[in-house]
Each structure stands twice: as C-alpha cells, then as structure tokens.
Amino acid sequence: MSTPSAAPSGSRRTWGWVVAAIVLVVAVVVAVILLTRPDDDTSTASPSTVPSTATPSPTTSATPPAAEPSPTSSATATTAAGCAPNDERAPSSADPVDVIDVDGDGRKDKAWISSGSDRRFGITTASGATFSAAIDSASPQPAAAVVNVVQQEAIPIALVDLGREALLYSLTDCAVTPVQNAQGDPYTFDRGFAGAGTGVGCSQDGDVLRLAGLNAVSKDDAKTFDVTRTFVDLDADGRHATNGDESTVATGAPKGNAVVTTAQEVSCGELVAGKDGPVEKQ
C-alpha cells in the first residue's frame, strides 16, 4: 500500500510546476504589456513637451524689435540738422554761389543777390531751404555780399556792401534778418559817406572772429592813415548789435598797407565782398 500512495504525491508536484509555469508566463506577458505601455505614454506625451519648448521661442524672437528705436533716434538726429526744405526758390535774376555752412548740417550752402527794384539777399541751403530779405537801401551801386560766422557762438552773418554803406544780416534760425542797433533801427556800417567809418571787417580775437567797424582817416592827402576799430557784439540770436569801445589799430600807416586796405573794404576774416561771395547782376 505504500507504493500506490507515492504516485499521487508526484502527480501533485507535477501540477504544481505546471501552475508555476503558467503563472510565470502570465507574469512575463503582464510585464511585457507594462513595459510597452510607458513607451506609448511617452510618445503620446511627447507632443505636449513640444509646445512647452517652443513657447520661449516667440519670446526670444520678440526681443530684437526692442532695439529698433536706435535707428529711429539716429534718423531723428540726421533730420534735425539743417533747415527744413521748403518751396521757395532763388529768383532767376540771382546767381547763387557757394558759401560756408549756414544751418549747421556740415554742408556748404549758397548765397545770392537778386537784381531789380526789389533786390533781395538770400540763402539756399544744401538741405533744400531758401530764405531771404529785402535789401533796403537807396544806394545805386550793385550789391555784393560776404557770409561768415562770428563770436564764440559761431553766429552766421551776412555783410552786404552797397558802396556807401554795408548792411548787416543775421542768418540764424533759417531766416535772413536785418540786425538792429540799440535804437531798434537796422544796423549799418558807414563806408565813408557819412563820416562815421570807412569799412567793416571781422578781426581775429583768440580763436574766433569778431565783427568790427573800421575807420581809416588821413590828414595828409591820403599819404598815411590812422585806423581805428570798434568791435560790434551780437546777442545770442545774432539779431541785436551793441558797439564796444573804439581802439587804435594803426597810426601813420601808408596808403596800400594791409591794415588800411582792410579798413576801406567790406570783409570778414579772409573773405572779401565782391570777390568771395554773391554779386548783384547788372
């Protein structure tokens, strides 16, 4: 009876291995399923990470426009220099010539004098602006002008020679404006007609030019001359002039001497009216 009883025990062990094998297979299958599902989830989640990484991109690309004001401010600085263009033109009777930079844009401008009963002195800038003023004088002589800058403020001015007198114009603020004297009348330099002076010049004073009325007087039939100078100071806008003290430049200077010649002409620095500026056509 002992032998038959051992058979059932071996059979139970065999079924035990079968069950264990089945459990193992099931476990492997479950494990495979579990291992493959995270891959699917990862690929599914992947699109959600794309927007998150792409989101900073618009922010980064939006940064460069913040630098755009730099060209704008640069353009503003360029257009701010010089007079604004206008529709005015120099008359056909005028003959514009190159002069100094009047409006501060670094380019040479042009000055002109129109002829006729309503003659005018004017400026046409390189930027395309034209402005002028009437030449108010009864002098019948052709007008000639010189343009330069004076004083520490570099004030642009024009001196218009009319033979018997010279007119003074300010060229500030894109306009030709007759300069006024202390009495509120147009400032004029005598050219020997009224006995108050013989010419006008711009004398070197340090590193700037200063406007000055000049007077060359002879007591020996024009053999020698005594020359005096009176500085003329302009206010900040160049439209009002005040006389300074008179000083002696030369005594007994011979005729033809440079100081005498300068005192008998209209000039400013090395520029002389009739040679270095516009002249009225005849």
pLDDT at residue number 195? 87
Mean pLDDT over 237-249 rounds to: 95
pLDDT at residue number 138? 86
pLDDT at residue number 115? 93
Place of tokens 């099931």: 26
Please say if the pLDDT value at position 30 is more than 90.
Answer: no
Tens of pLDDT, residue by residue over 204-213, are: 999 999 999 9
pLDDT at residue number 94? 96
For residue 117, name the pLDDT band (cuts at 50, 70, 90): confident
Report the chain's mean pLDDT, rounded to a whole number.
81
Q: What are phi and psi of 10, to 5 degrees?
A: -65, -35
pLDDT at residue number 278? 98
pLDDT at residue number 53? 38
Q: What are phi and psi of 149, to 5 degrees?
A: -115, 145
Mean pLDDT over 7-28 rounds to: 54
* CA-based nearest residue to 123, from 154, 151, 157, 150: 157
Q: Where are the alpha helices (DSSP H) in the chain?
A: 2-54, 56-61, 69-80, 258-263
pTM over the 0.95 mark:
no
pLDDT at residue number 37? 55
For residue 17, name the pLDDT band (cuts at 50, 70, 90): low
Is 121 within 8 Å of 143 (Cβ atoms)?
A: yes
Mean pLDDT over 84-100 rounds to: 96
- What is the per-residue DSSP string for 86-150? -S----TT---EE---SSSSSS--EEEE--STT-EEEEE-TTS-EEEEE------SPPEEEEEEE
